[in-house]
Structure 1
Amino acid sequence: MKPVKTGYTPYILRILVILASLPLLSCSLLEKKPAVLWTDSPELLIAVELFNAQKRGYLLEAHYSEQPSRDLNQAIVDKKPLPSLVIGRGLRSPQLAEQFMPLDYLFGDMVFSRDSFYPGLLQAGMRGGKQLYLPLSFNLMLILEKKGGAALRNLREHERTIRQEVISLAEIRRQSLPGGEARPAGAGILGFSPRWPDEDFLFQWVQLKQADFHEPEGGELRGKNTGNRILAWREEALVQALEELREYTAKVNGSAAEEDSFFFSYLFAPGYKNVESGRILYSAMDSTEFFALPPATRAKFDFHYLMEEDRLAVLEGIRYAAIPRQARSRAAAEAFLSWFFTPENQEALLEASRSLRLSETSFGIAGGFSSLRIVTQTIFPRFYDDLANRLPPAEGVIASKPLPTSWESLYRAVVLPWLKDEAARDPGSGEKESLNVRLESFLDRNPGFR
């Protein structure tokens, strides 16, 4: 499978048109055979052009791949040449780990320091005591409320049980019911539903409550059926997390049926617009989507980072960089990583994104917060005023275990529909159908995933 996507999105085409107008490459560079980068981040195409313009001894060529992990695996099977560098989501799959070389030698005063990164992201890039992956960017689940919403509900900020920049479901419940009473039946306003408008909240919640979805490996594979050999989780924690969601729905909103009735009666717009109109008090939203909104729109909201048990809801699409063991032009890959993980260069990328108006449709570095703490904490607020005094707590930025390369398909076809069905049940009713049964049924219909 060719690792270059042929059906480009309008956003990628926009970047390519911009790049075509930039006279960054000298004739001498164009004569050299370039190193090759595969990435699922269109924003990195700009980074590559800036690198090529500054690093005269190297030339890097970027190929866009919708799923680098899948394309890399296919190239290995087909015994085709591998790229010099891979940057994308899903690279931490145990199935691919042996294909990458350790990168520990890159750390030090001459390149970059381990202390520069969010520890919870860097640690997740290690296997067998070796640093196989370097984190580039991450995103978080946000909870939006209307600007000044707490004041409108006669709640003072010091009454919050946790700090301003984060929020938990217990806090949402407390602020949705300031008088301690359930929402009146038939009311045209609702505080928050874990099941919509952003359905991904369900998965982030159960992960925060230690459901621990991940790709099984080693001893986890022994004596397991097919489904459990593809995807693993902690059953007891998953069941408990779902029961807590059901209890929230029953206590705060009456029932799942009342939530659904409200949804079909009133909610015809994206979640953040329903918060703005006052129909709902809170809505969940991916940080990359929120910060791609126009600044005037973002100014209408206060946002909080979803946090449970001292962990933030770090979305699973963390982008990592890795160098294949069989990579050619390795020196160019190393030079690019050294260049990229320099705060001044990341600031230049943010400035280029703003001047080219790419920041109107894309957020941050490689589509998210930078993995370099100093960049997110000191440079991002200069480009995103919303982040002033509202930065994600570094200690809560922890990556979950790796998910299988087929995760996106499994999630949309099996896991999320199952979570929606089970979250809609009454408290104490238990499971209607186990996730194992749902997964096995899907695999029977789609044997290519086995």
Structure 2
Amino acid sequence: MDLLQKIYEAGVVGAGGAGFPTHVKLDCKVEYLIINAAECEPLLNTDKYIMMNRGEEIIKTVEEVGEFVEAKHLIIALKEKYTEEINSLKDIIKRLNSNVELFYLGNYYPAGDEQMMVYEVTGRSIPEAGIPLDVGAVVTNVGTIVNIGEAMKDNPVVDKCITVVGEVNNPTMLKVPVGISVKECIDAAGGTDLNEYAVIIGGPMMGTIIDDNETHKNHIKKTDGSLIILPKDHYIVQRKRKPLQTIINETRSACIQCRYCTDLCHRYLIGHKLRPHKVMRNIGMSEQDEEIMKEALICCECGICELYSCPMGLSPRLVNVYVKGELRKKGIRPEKGSTDIESRDMIEYRKIPTTRLMARLDILKYYNQNIDDIKELFPKEVTIPLSQHIGKPASAVVKVGDNVSKGQLIGKVERNDMGANVHATIDGKVLEVSDKVIIQREDNGVIL
């Protein structure tokens, strides 16, 4: 069985982002295979744990994947501050006489952005609305590499490593089955003393925010890697939840056209024609320049303009999200730009230092929290979405009342579909089949 077939059968998707189906992504031949181990956003620690504990498997799998895609360069890109992880990987590379290389990134945001990482490693800018393949590269997360290694042994994706930090009593690393509730993860980290709190699923810049009363009905997916618990009135929570009409009104009344949102935008800096300040002017002045508005389509929504750049506390990111939605209603999609682009001169001087970003976000006090050793959770029930990735949802292949075992296929897509298979993550009985599959087992869940 070839590598892509094994990856497809195991349901591997991008572990650190939108969940692009890996059997589709790796169906290519490239010059560079780049493994993203930079953990782009502040407070995340999952990739570091994976590198320290599964380093040999990572190196061997990178070699295997590199041979498959015929890459000349096998690169693990990680932050230069990860000294312990770097030393561990270097020892393994030397012992295995591997041709995998380490590439060191600065401690800035967004070092782990796919397009920024490709630029750093190769010196090439991906075209507007393009992908790394356009410049001879493919990028995959280090967690995805671990899942590929498991797929090679015929083990499907059923577990996730999750960092739980912020306002919890015992910040910790968890190994959990996909489909466990967010509440159970928070409880395993000692819970919180806050009466009211919000949870960021993902990173503070691009993560999804839910309230405390939603934690029992939100469940860990293949793409999740972190839970950050914050007070409900925290700066990040308040900024991200500002009503759209308020944002538009503020734009019209307060945008001073300083262009900081543009000057610090990393898409602009790698050469893209994305100028958030121009989009803001179109909204603020009720101008109708559709060519300017189309620039919003290539915004990656990293949040720099919203949470770092703007001196007036405006939200160019959310304005771009609004504009993109309006353009898509008209059937307007981003157009791929030319590969003949160059980065702008100031790119090396306009990277956002992570510690300064954390200070601006008021999360420095959570930096370098002592993380408990990993705990493995065995919940009584899991709720597994049939869509955890970009593309087509899986179709259920089980029914209510079926007994299933951990690793059994419960949702299927065809090999040529843009989608991923889904598997049972615990042994038990199927209680519900809809856009999700709920499985319950009879024994009580315990924490080891």
> Do Structure 1 and Structure 2 share a fold, with TM-score over 0.5?
no
Q: TM-score, normalised by structure 1?
A: 0.25
Whose strand fraction is larger, Structure 1's or Structure 2's? 2
Q: Which has the higher contact order (CA 8 A, sep 6+)?
A: 1
Q: Kindly name which structure, 1 or 2, has the bigger radius of gyration based on alpha carbons.
A: 1
Q: TM-score w.r.t. structure 2 length?
A: 0.25
Per residue, is there more helix in 1 or in 2? Answer: 1
